[in-house]
Structure 1
Amino acid sequence: MHSYTRAESRERRRLFLKGAHQSIGDNLDPRVTARIHAIDATAAERGARELAALERQADTARDTVATAKAAVKACGWGPDRSAARDALREAEKNLRRAERAYHRAAQS
C-alpha cells in the first residue's frame, strides 16, 4: 500500500510528465526516475506503517468486543444486562468500522 501526501502526488505527477517529455526525445534524465522511485519508497513505508496501525486498532477492537461479551455473560437480569448489551453492540460497531478501514487500506 502506498500513502502519498498531496505534495508528493504533485511532485510525482510533475516528474512523470517531465519524464514522458524527455522520453519522447530519447533524453531521459536518470535523476527524474530516481526521484520518482524515492517518492514511491517513502510512500510505501508510510503506507506499511498506516496499515500496521489499522491492524493494531482492529485487534484492540476485537479485545473490546471479547470483554463486552464476557460482561454480558456475567451480568444478571435487568438494567445491568441491558447496559452490557448496549456496550456490546457499540463495541461490535467499532470493530466492524476498524476492520472495514483495515481491509480498504489493504486492498489499495
Structure 2
Amino acid sequence: MSEVYRSYTPAEKRKRAWLILRGVKQAAADAVDPKIERQIDAIDDAAEERGRLEAAALHRQNEKAKAELATAKAAVRAASREDRAAARTALTKAEQRARATEKAIRSAGL
C-alpha cells in the first residue's frame, strides 16, 4: 500500500478498475498495451493531487477547531457568573467540532 493519500471520484474508481482488469487480461496474453498503464498513472496522479488538497484542508480545519476550543476554554474560565452558561455552550460546540474534524482525519486514513 502506498503512503500517499489519494481521493478517487466514483468515475475514476470505475475507470481504474476497468483498466486494471484489461491490463490483467492482456498480461495473461503477454500483450500489455502501455497506453493502459499511462491512463492508470494519469488517474492516480489526479487522485493524488486531489488527496493532497483534501488532506491539507482537513488539517487546516483541525487546527482551526483546536484554536477555537482553546479560545472557548479560556472564555469559560474568564466568564462572569452570568456569562458562564453561554460560554459553556460555546465550549461544548467547540469540543464537538474538534472531535468531528479529528474523526474526519482518522476516517480518511491521515
Report the TM-score when normalising by structure 2: 0.91
Pairwise CA distance, 1:24:
0.8
Note the 1:26-45 alignment, pairs <5 A: 26-45=30-49
Task: Describe the SS at the equivalent of 1:7.
Answer: helix
- Fraction of identical pairs, as percent: 47
Pairwise CA distance, 1:103:
2.2
Q: In structure 2, list runs of 5 or more residues that go unmatched.
A: none
| Residue 23 (structure 1) aligned to one of 19, 23, 27 | 27
Q: In structure 1, list runs of 5 or more residues that go unmatched.
A: none
Task: Describe the SS at the equivalent of 2:47.
Answer: helix
Task: Describe the SS at the equivalent of 2:109.
Answer: helix
Partner of 2:96: 93
> Aligned AA for 2:63?
D
Distance in structure 1 (CA, Å) of the matches to 2:96 and 2:59: 16
Note the 1:28-107 alignment, pairs <5 A: 28-78=32-82, 80-107=83-110
Distance in structure 2 (CA, Å) of the matches to 1:21 and 1:103: 36
Higher percent of residues as helix: 1
> Aligned AA for 1:74?
A
**When the two structures are aligned, how many residues end up with a matched partner?**
106
Report the TM-score when normalising by structure 1: 0.92
Distance in structure 2 (CA, Å) of the matches to 1:83 and 1:24: 67
Distance in structure 2 (CA, Å) of the matches to 1:81 and 1:5: 46
Aligned CA RMSD, in angstroms, stands at 1.0
> Aligned AA for 2:65?
A
Moved over 6 A (4+): none
Q: Which range moves more in the overlay, 67-76 or 23-32?
A: 67-76
> Which structure has more RCO (C-alpha within 8 Å, separation ≥ 6)?
1
